[in-house]
Structure 1
Amino acid sequence: MGSEGIFGAIYYLLFGGIIGYNLNDQIGMLPGQPVVNFRQFSGYINIDSNATRSLFYYFVEAEEDPLDKPLTIWLSGGPGCSSVGDSFFGVGPFIITSNAHGLKRNPYAWNKVSNMLFIDSPVGTGWSYSNTKRDYQVGDSSTNSDLVIFLLKWFEKYPIFKYRDLFLGGTSYAGHFVPNFAKTLLQHNNQSKIYNFNLKGIVLGNPVLRLKLDILAEHELYVSKGMIPKKLYKLILKQCFEIDENNYSDNVAPWSQSCQRPMRKSLMIAFNVTSVQEAKQRQFDFRRTPCDGKIEDLISGKEVTKITDEVDMCIPFRTNFYFNIPEVQKVFRGNRTNSRYPWMSCFPGLNYNLFDKDTDMLPTLKQILLHSVSITIFSGDEDGAIPMIGTLKHVKMLAKDMNLNLTKNEAWHDREKKEGGWLYSYEDLLTFMTVKGANHHVPFSKPSQALFIFRKHVFYAITRLLNEAHN
């Protein structure tokens, strides 16, 4: 071994293996896990000094050369959906096997290009908890504050990543979590003379950006697909006339009853069901039907799958089962409060501030772009919850407000030459990509295309910023 190799080995041992990592949180092997060449860590970060409020995390090294790769923080939406659980839907290194008692490698894992940190946030999500009841009354502000404290304390445990290129990503209501988080980190950089977060970019999948308009876009999508009659859609527009793309406000009033009635009718007609609740369960993929697996089959060791158009719709169902296996919880060191409630990928009882959900996120995205931090947004074209047609309008509005020129308007394909969708790029700073055949969760339904977007976003953003620095 040459001198450079010896130095590299010593550096990795000291800073990558001992000083730079919190080895107490290292996971040996998850139950049923195949052998891998990267390390995994999980545990809690105490948000307050008395350890009464803690966020759970799962950290996965990049498959190769983790000390040379960026750090990406992944946040799931909901609000109330576990980012740790979400890592087993298509972003993380593993997928739950068909009988839900083991794991298999994810060929499109995002740790092929980045170190990945998954955080269960806000409090009440996944294994994150508080011993104080009022802490479960959460909103955008409290969630963001906890995330900032979390990251600073996480860097104390993993200082080797403190100065690494940083990316933030997530889906759905992460359209609030991620921009708010990014904005706060950039504000810190403007004020601090000691340490700056090395934020390079954010990536958002099917994000909630202007919720009231996103809801109206649902019905625009349904009428465009012939799922509801045009007469019903015109009635919705007539009764829900309070806002449009040009006058969206954070202070929009709740929908009137005369507006809600035709919208409820539209949902039930669109999905040919008799209840709004059932329709909302179908919104996330308006073409494929949900998994209808039975827990008794998984308990007995049977395989439970439902593959439609190459998508196994039962992966979330099996993930819920796997995370409730006692040995899995033991290895993860999750559920340290010994909660008697089952682990849920999405917690329906989260008490989240309703007014925060209507917040217009375009001003926050604008502030991020003004710091030359790139934003990539991707959207599955078979998502009926946050439709692509609505998000594209928001992106165009943001580009217009910032006088960003459309520099690319073209079809795209992934590395395997699979059809991707359509690409809109505004001066390589703001990018919107549609994903053909993808539902509300693109990494779950179209993992190859999702990895391509992430790979292109991460490395292109770094290259562009480095070139700007040299010029």
Structure 2
Amino acid sequence: MNGVVVDGAATILLCALHLLLVCIVECAPDGAEVLRFPGFDGDLPSKHYAGYITVGNQLNKRHLYYYFATSERDPENDPVAIWLNGGPGCSGLNAVVYLLGPFKVDDNEDYLINGARVKLNPYSWSKVSNMIYIDAPAGTGFSYADNTDDYIVDDPEINADIYEFILKWFLEYPEFLPNPFYVIGSSYGGMLVPVVSLLIDEGLEAGTKPRINFKGYSIGNAFTDIRIDNNAEIPYAHRMGLISDEQYKALKKSCHGNYWNSSIPDCEKNMEDYMKTAGAINKYHVLCLPCHFVMGITTTTNLNNKITQRNSTYGEMVYETDCGGAVAEHAHGRRRLPERQHPPDSIYCCDYNHRPSMLFNSESGRRDMHAQPIEVSGIWERCTKRLTHRVEERSLVEYHLNLTTKGYRAFIYNGDHDMVVSYLATMEWIKLLNYTEIEKWQPWFVGDQIAGYAIQYEHNLLYATFRGSGHTVPEYTPIEGLEAYRRWIDGSDSL
């Protein structure tokens, strides 16, 4: 009799576990599953979902779009990570099709005739974790606000909306609450990731529900401290052989280490000379041409790759093209410079912006992605022009100190050929934490090749460079990027 009871209980338990495992993959909001991805032929590599989470209040509703790719390895147990894109105002879908997402935009030269296409990305970070990509703030990508006043934003508002989004997302996908959760991003995401992480920590301490299994965060080539980030460019240019010893000494003597806010006449003159020497360098990767993507455009299309630069009040770099809208990358308060001192082309070519616009602005594409029609959410742009972003000059070093001393894991990294946020800048603010080095500067490997150099600090802080990589590590060095992420997300504190 007892044996029958035990067998019955075991059967019930097994059934319950089976239902739980099925729910992990299958449970989701009704109609959220993505069955087709624009421009892709074939089966999706894992379960994908997309939709909107509404934040704000009754008078100011903001509808934030997300794309969720479950892990291709073990979605039931693999961590969940939310990717916060740069900009601000650059769509998370850029990461989906150009950086670390499940897809890569194909460089088919006939895309203007036969349409843009995508193929599977063999180095997607969804190979090893469940990935959430978000269009934030409202006005970015497919996200939109009911009140146009909400398109005037600052970082505290953006971070508060992202935190509210995360809480509500887990209410929609409660089956993932047990999974370890990480906040990750790059570039201007460096001004978002630590703040959102601290908001999550404060919510946990306050007993906010749902209770997230928050474990840590990661940022790459990330803006952190405006003074450090901007002033590191000159020493970096000297180390890379872009300016002479004589020019560097003149800059150091006249600017006293403050190269971007100085009103000293001699410093300003030397900075003008510096721009004549190094101004045409592609700061996103100093070894690449200003435009390294294949254009695939002929003169018969009435399109060309003319890109002119204009500067906002805060020095953001906006590349306007006649073939797909503007591409914005904020330079975190960098000095505005005469247009003649900039190269005629940018790393962001026409097709870099135009191809995904074709994918995500077609009626069928938006329908497949569960995005609202253009009449509701507006035209999809890689980086939106409808936001007014109030820039606040600040340092987030204290946020990193707070989070890491509380025991959260942190992975900080740089592509070592990026001059926008150089490894010198990142290492300088890390030194301000005054942490002991557990493992000093040493090479880390992928196979038998040196992939970069790493330092392991106390308090679960790991720092690494990626050899030969630029501002967006998963784009320039995808193999190394995935491998480092896999090792870290799987729990390693060293590479």
TM range (shorter): 0.7 to 0.9
Structure 1 residues 396 and 340: alpha-carbon distance in aligned structure 2, compared to 1, 3 A threshold: closer
1:340-394 Cα deviation digits (max 9, x unpaired): 964322235532222x2x3111100000011100111110011011111221122
Work out whether 1:52 is the aligned partner of 2:87. Answer: no
AA in 2 matched with 1:452: E
The residue aligned with 1:276 is none
Residues 41, 411 of structure 1: CA spacing in aligned structure 2 closer, same or farther, 3 A cutoff?
same
Decide which of 278, 295, 301 is 1:270's aligned counterpart: 278
Provide the residue aligned with 1:331 in structure 2.
368
* Other-structure match for 1:361: 396
Whether the 8 Å CA contact 2:451–2:466 is kept in 1: the answer is yes
Partner of 1:420: 451
| 1:307 alignment partner in structure 2 | none
Moved more, 141-150 or 334-343: 334-343
- Distance across 1 between alignment mates of 2:24 and 2:464: 38
Aligned structure 1 segments of 4 or more residues deviating by more than 6 angstroms: 312-315
Structure 2 counterparts to residues 42-441 of structure 1, below 5 A: 42-50=50-58, 52-99=61-108, 101-192=116-207, 195-241=210-256, 255-256=262-263, 258=265, 262-271=270-279, 273=280, 282-289=282-289, 290-291=291-292, 294=295, 296=297, 316-317=352-353, 318-338=355-375, 342-348=379-385, 350-354=387-391, 356=392, 358-398=393-433, 400=434, 403-414=435-446, 416-427=447-458, 429-441=460-472
The Cα offsets for residues 114-149 of structure 1, whole Å up to 9 and x where unpaired, read as: 100011112222122223232122122101110111
**RMSD of equivalent CA atoms:** 3.1
The 1-side partners of 2:258 and 2:128 are apart by: 41
| Deviation for aligned residue 1:235 | 4.2
Q: SS state of the match for residue 144, structure 1?
A: helix
Distance (whole Å) between structure 2 residues aligned to residue 174 and residue 319 of structure 1? 21
State the distance in 1 between where 2:352 and 2:47 align.
24
Q: How many Å apart are 1:76 and its aligned residue?
A: 0.9
SS across alignment from 2:31: helix
Q: Could you tell me which amino acid in structure 1 is paired with residue 191 of structure 2? A: H
> Is the 2:228–2:428 contact (alpha carbons within 8 Å) kept by the matching residues of 1?
no
Distance 2:103 2:491 in 1: 26
SS across alignment from 2:432? helix
Note the alpha carbon deviations across 1:229-263, whole angstroms, 9 max, x for none: 3444344434544769xxxxxxxx95537455644
Q: Structure 1 residues 329 and 194, CA, compared in 2 at 3 Å: closer, same or farther? A: closer
* Contact 1:407/1:427 (<8 A) preserved: no
Moved more, 162-171 or 193-202: 193-202
Residues 325 and 391 of structure 1: is their aligned pair in 2 closer, same or farther, counting only changes over 3 Å? same
**Structure 1 vs Structure 2: percent identity of aligned residues?**
26
